[in-house]
């Protein structure tokens, strides 16, 4: 899936995980909560614009939807098949610096040589005090789960803000007709319950704070990681196995060497936490037995077929 994020307008980048539609822009009765960062930086805008033009628009596997039907030029099958490999080699090109406040654009596709994935793990491992993590649902790849557990064992702190299952895009209220896709929020919830159970000791001593976001019928779509309030990754990645291996993802890593952005990010974190409830014990998360009958039926079938591992990797 093409999961790149960002709007480039002249020398300005508006980075967000949001799409342009009614629910994100709250044009009707409900909204989808997301992050929006406006960065005025000609070099960043040029780098992101050039990558799209050179690696995607100009690629022979990409079709122009506006071309006339009588003159339609469809890509060759071999070009389409090899497109993923070419994209996995793509990088943002920019004049690099390692000093001062700066923004580093990152892109990645696939499990190997993925600079975005590698940066996420390094960000967790290099943190010396605390992490603030946002994700719509909790279903991290094994390498990230281990990094988070290691972070806690070293005596450091983690705040995780995750959407309640009712704030998931795929949640279907009990009074509506159920479909198979509606089981997803419950699968993610069980993944969170397992992690919370394994790290209950850290919840009890205050190292691990899991905040469940819920605001009526609205949904939660925030992503990103802040480390020690010095480095901030804003990204469209859901920090899950699918994003890790199958989707083309990007992100911006903000290095706040002087602390000039610290107060802005702290204010954002306070705002994010407004509609959350802290988890004090993993048992506060529902078990399978408490789920609606249609959900229990499909999840029991998934477990019986041992398909939950595969589903978590592709959904």
The torsion angle over the Cα atoms of residues 104, 110, 112 and 115, rounded to 10 degrees, is: 0
The pTM assigned to this predicted structure is 0.92
Residues 228 and 207: their CA atoms lie apart, in Å, by 14
**Residue 194's domain spans which residues?**
100-314
- For residue 64, what are its two tokens? 């122009």
* CB distance 100 to 257 below 8 Å: yes
Structural domains of the chain, count: 1
Residues 210 and 220: their CA atoms lie apart, in Å, by 15
The answer to the question of residue 294 being in a domain is: yes
Is residue 154 part of the annotated active site? The answer reads no
The answer to the question of residue 154 being in a domain is: yes
Residues 281 and 257: their CA atoms lie apart, in Å, by 36
Among the listed residues 37, 151, 211, 221, the single catalytic one is: 221
- Per-residue pLDDT reduced to its tens digit, 185-241: 999 999 999 999 999 999 999 999 999 999 999 999 999 999 999 999 999 999 999
Among the listed residues 34, 159, 228, 268, the single catalytic one is: 34
Question: What value does the mean pLDDT take over residues 102-128?
Answer: 96
Among the listed residues 159, 249, 256, 268, the single catalytic one is: 249
Is residue 228 part of the annotated active site? The answer reads no
The answer to the question of residue 43 being in a domain is: no
The CATH code of the domain that includes 257 is: 3.30.870.10
Is residue 34 part of the annotated active site? The answer reads yes
pLDDT of residue 311: 66
The answer to the question of residue 159 being in a domain is: yes
Q: Which residues of 72-110 are buried (b: 16+ CB within 10 A; e: fewer)?
A: eeeeeeeeeeebeeebbebebebeeeeeeebbbbbbbbb
């Amino acid at each position: 899936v093409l999961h790149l994020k960002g709007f480039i307008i002249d020398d300005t980048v508006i980075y967000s995980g949001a799409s342009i539609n009614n629910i994100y822009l709250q044009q009707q009765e409900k909204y989808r909560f997301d992050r929006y960062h406006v960065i005025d930086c000609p070099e960043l805008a040029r780098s992101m614009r050039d990558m799209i033009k050179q690696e995607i628009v100009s690629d022979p596997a990409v079709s122009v939807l506006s071309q006339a039907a009588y003159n339609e030029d469809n890509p060759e099958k071999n070009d389409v098949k090899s497109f993923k490999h070419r994209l996995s080699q793509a990088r943002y090109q920019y004049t690099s610096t390692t000093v001062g406040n700066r923004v580093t654009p990152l892109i990645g596709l696939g499990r190997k040589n993925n600079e975005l994935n590698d940066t996420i793990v390094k960000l967790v491992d290099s943190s010396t005090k605390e992490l603030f993590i946002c994700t719509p649902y909790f279903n991290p790849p094994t390498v990230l789960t281990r990094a988070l557990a290691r972070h806690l064992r070293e005596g450091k702190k983690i705040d995780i803000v995750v959407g309640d299952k009712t704030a998931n895009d795929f949640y279907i209220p009990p009074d509506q007709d159920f479909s198979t896709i509606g089981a997803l929020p419950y699968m993610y919830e069980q993944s969170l319950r397992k992690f919370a159970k394994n790290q209950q000791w850290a919840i009890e001593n205050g190292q691990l704070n899991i905040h469940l976001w819920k605001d009526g019928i609205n949904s939660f779509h925030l992503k990103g990681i802040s480390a020690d309030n010095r480095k901030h990754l804003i990204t469209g990645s859901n920090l899950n196995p699918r994003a890790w291996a199958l989707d083309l993802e990007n992100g911006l890593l903000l290095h706040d060497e002087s602390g000039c952005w610290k107060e802005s990010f702290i204010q954002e974190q306070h705002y994010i936490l407004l509609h959350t409830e802290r988890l004090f014990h993993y048992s506060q998360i529902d078990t399978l037995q408490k789920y609606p009958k249609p959900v229990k039926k499909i999840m029991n079938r998934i477990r019986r077929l041992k398909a939950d591992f595969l589903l978590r990797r592709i959904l």
